[in-house]
Structure 1
Amino acid sequence: MLAIVDPQLEAFRNDVLAGLSAPIPAVPARWFYDQRGSELFDDITRLPSYYPTQVETRLLQDVMPEIAACIPEGAAVVEFGAGSQTKTPILLEAVAPAAYVPIDISGDYLEQSAAELRDQFEGLKVLPVTADFTRPFHLPEGVEPLPKLGFFPGSTIGNFVPRSATDLLRHFRDLLGTGALLLIGMDRVKSVKRLIDAYDDPEGVTAQFNLNLLHRINRELDGDIPVDAFRHEARWNDILSRIEMHLVATRDVRFTVSGQPFDFAAGSSIHSENSHKYGERGARLLLLAGGWTPLREWSDEAGDFWIILAEAQPLRFAP
């Protein structure tokens, strides 16, 4: 009898083994979000030092009437990432869509979030899709003919290097179709101290979030990583305009994952996340390269964060 392989677990294993074996060890940030990781990230968004969620939420509340006026009646809202309990309801209340499709890699967390939104918005069709939104998947039956609004808040696009971010935006364009709209959050460049504080909070929640990745590897991939041999570190990379999160070895350490051995010297690290910050022209160029034309832009008074509404361009062949 053939063993049944969980495709998501297999993808996790492949990414981790390839990432830890790379010359610069790294694990894609999407694997942060098991149930515990999703809960910890929710905790992070409530921290005083983590400005992106606070600023974006206030900005959404302020400009939502303008946003809603741009959205066709009877649209389907397709959110890339499980619905935030603060931002998503603001959008759903104002737009009153025909359907809401949250997409997330963490199935348990996604179902919990979807159930809460069903209770909050009686009569709304909530159609969760458990999938890695960076890879091909299908929208639920009945959504295809509806006008579509993609929702990608939180500056999650900043987790991707420019080439991958462009590919992701093109993937969204292909999924949602020509003429679809995308409401996207983008974090702006600001003082290094403020950025570091946001990703290395004194309460230590971001450290727990980062280290939870090692706990997940141990639990799901038969790993024996000594988690206490690693510490969380946030760094600003000025050349690449991004915050980097690393898991830094505090001593020489040897461990195995799925039977494969790894050695890390003291001071070496596993690169676990990027969070790119954008200037005005850079944000627009990224969207255009990804197949989206910016239509409207909103920013808070301090200029900390952007919300941009863009339209999917028709496919064109390069000259």
Structure 2
Amino acid sequence: MLQSGFIQIYHKNTNAICAELNAGLLAPQACISPKFLYDGLGSKLFAAICELPEYYPTRTEALIFEQYRAEIARSTGRGSTLIDLGAGNCEKAASLFSALQPVQYVPVDISVDFLREAVECLRYRYPQIRVTALGMDFSSALELPDAVRSDKRLFFYPGSSIGNFTPEEAAAFLGRVRDACRADGGLLIGVDLIKDEGLLYEAYDDAIGLTAAFNLNMLQHLNRLLGTNFKPRDWRHVCQFNASESRIELHLEALRSVTVTWDDGERRFSQGERIHTENSYKYTPEKFLQLLERAGFAHVNRWSDPHGWFMLCHAQAV
């Protein structure tokens, strides 16, 4: 049977969460970290978004994996400790198990209950792989427990989740990944590239409203965490492309004037006022390679799709 374990590093710090949310809601431009999109329901909604025909990152990245599977395996080598950051349902990593043949798989996610369910599904499908799941928030720190093998670490960060960080934040995050790689480690990362704005709008504002539901669900999560009285019907999902910053932005916009209250504060939102919930930065290949170099990675191999919409990179820690 599969050797498996679950280590819960992330424990809800109610005071810290409330302080962070309070500061975001009271900021001149209200904003909430995208990590609060991922409660149990939010994680399931995002998994459904990845199945949408409009959501090109998932299918394009999957095509790259399929077409270049052997090359990717030659670049990364086999027998690694595969550390899957933001693992979600673990399916992307599992699609590479046969090629990469990891000796240990370490899925990492802040949505603890959702990760437990995903790992339970892996138990019977891949009995030959040791699984050590980590329930943790890796966005600000990346300290791995001793149960994670220290040699030949391959960090896996697919789906262009790196785009949720500003370029400065991304450089700092990649530097932490580099430090955690150790001498013989590396990074396999997906990066969304600059493309036609029409494709971006279709992907982040889909026709059946899954992304809208994903975004609006954050309000219900805030109600549980902070005790706010948000009513999702008072808000709408807004997607826009910020050309100067080369990023898609997600917002929640008030449909009418509303006053949101919670234990330690309140804020009146005028009709049309927004809460900024997520960014997704898009890169040129050159800009992203510079970011990897700045973080301490080198010897980069990269693969892309025929349209040049998406890029997968394997970089070695130096």
| TM-score, with length taken from structure 1 | 0.93
User: Is 1:16 equivalent to 2:25 in the alignment?
Assistant: no
Residue matched to 1:3? none
Structure 2 residue aligned with 1:201, among 201, 206, 210?
A: 206
Structure 1 residue aligned with 2:120, among 115, 124, 129?
A: 115
CA contact (8 A) 1:83 1:114 kept: no
User: Is 1:91 equivalent to 2:96 in the alignment?
Assistant: yes
Q: Give the gaps of 5 or more residues in structure 1.
A: 1-5, 314-319
Residue matched to 2:286? 281
Deviation at 1:217, TM superposition (A): 0.7
AA of the residue aligned to 1:58:
L
User: Is 1:299 equivalent to 2:314 in the alignment?
Assistant: no
CA contact (8 A) 1:64 1:94 kept: yes
In 2, the alpha carbon distance for the partners of 1:214 and 1:161 equals 23
Q: For the structure 1 residues 246 and 9, does the alpha-carbon distance in structure 2 shift closer, same or farther, using more than 3 Å as the test?
A: same
Q: Map 1:183-262; keep pairs closer than 5 Å.
A: 183-262=188-267
The runs of at least 4 consecutive aligned structure 1 residues that moved more than 4 Å come to none
More deviation, 116-125/24-33: 116-125
Aligned-residue sequence identity (percent) comes to 37
Residue matched to 2:134? 129
More deviation, 251-260/19-28: 251-260
Helix, strand or coil at the partner of 2:95: helix
Q: Give the gaps of 5 or more residues in structure 2.
A: 1-10
Helix, strand or coil at the partner of 1:157: helix
In 2, the alpha carbon distance for the partners of 1:126 and 1:65 equals 23
Helix, strand or coil at the partner of 2:252: strand
CA contact (8 A) 2:81 2:153 kept: yes
Deviation at 1:258, TM superposition (A): 3.6
Deviation at 1:142, TM superposition (A): 4.1
CA RMSD, 1 decimal = 1.6
| Equivalent pairs, count | 309
Deviation at 1:157, TM superposition (A): 0.2
More deviation, 257-266/36-45: 257-266
In 2, the alpha carbon distance for the partners of 1:103 and 1:143 equals 11
CA contact (8 A) 1:231 1:248 kept: yes
CA contact (8 A) 2:54 2:203 kept: yes
User: Is 1:272 equivalent to 2:277 in the alignment?
Assistant: yes
AA of the residue aligned to 1:138:
E
Deviation at 1:83, TM superposition (A): 4.5
User: Is 1:77 equivalent to 2:82 in the alignment?
Assistant: yes
More deviation, 64-73/121-130: 64-73
Helix, strand or coil at the partner of 1:74: coil
Q: Which string of whole-angstrom CA distances, capped at 9 and with x for unpartnered residues, describes residues 88-130 of structure 1?
A: 1122221111101111101001111111122211121111111
Residue matched to 2:185? 180
CA contact (8 A) 2:226 2:262 kept: yes
In 2, the alpha carbon distance for the partners of 1:282 and 1:145 equals 30
Deviation at 1:140, TM superposition (A): 3.6
In 1, the alpha carbon distance for the partners of 2:61 and 2:13 equals 31
Q: Which string of whole-angstrom CA distances, capped at 9 and with x for unpartnered residues, describes residues 252-308 of structure 1?
A: 110113442111111110000000111121111111122222520000011110000
Deviation at 1:309, TM superposition (A): 0.4
Q: For the structure 1 residues 17 and 299, does the alpha-carbon distance in structure 2 shift closer, same or farther, using more than 3 Å as the test?
A: same
Deviation at 1:8, TM superposition (A): 4.2
Helix, strand or coil at the partner of 2:137: coil
CA contact (8 A) 1:102 1:129 kept: yes
CA contact (8 A) 2:151 2:182 kept: no
| TM-score, with length taken from structure 2 | 0.93
In 2, the alpha carbon distance for the partners of 1:24 and 1:178 equals 42
Residue matched to 1:46? 51
